[in-house]
Amino acid sequence: MGVGSWELRCKMDVVRHPVNQGWIEVIVGSMFSGKSEELIRRLRRAQIARQKVQIFKPALDTRYAEDQIVSHSEMRIASAPVSSARALLDRVEADTEVVGIDEGQFFDGELPMVCNTLADQGKRVIVAGLDQDYLGKPFEPMPQLLAIAEYITKTLAICMVCGNPANHTQRLVASEDRVLLGTQGTYEARCRRCFDPRLANAPARSGRATS
CA distance 20 to 57: 25
ω before 141 within 30° of 0 (cis)? yes
Nearest to 24 by CA among 99, 78, 132, 136: 99
User: Which one of the listed residues 37, 97, 103, 188 is annotated catalytic?
Assistant: 103
Q: Is 27 exposed, middle or buried (0-12, 13-18, 19+ CB in 10 A)?
A: buried
Q: What is the dihedral of CA 195, 62, 83, 38, to 10 degrees?
A: -60
Work out the number of other CB atoms within 10 angstroms of the CB of residue 132. Answer: 20
From the centroid of its chain, how far is CA 88? Answer: 16
Distances (CA, A) of 3 to 6, 8, 27, 155: 5, 9, 20, 18
Rounded Cα distance between 151 and 26, Å, is 6
Is 140 an annotated catalytic residue?
no
Catalytic residue numbers, as ranges = 103
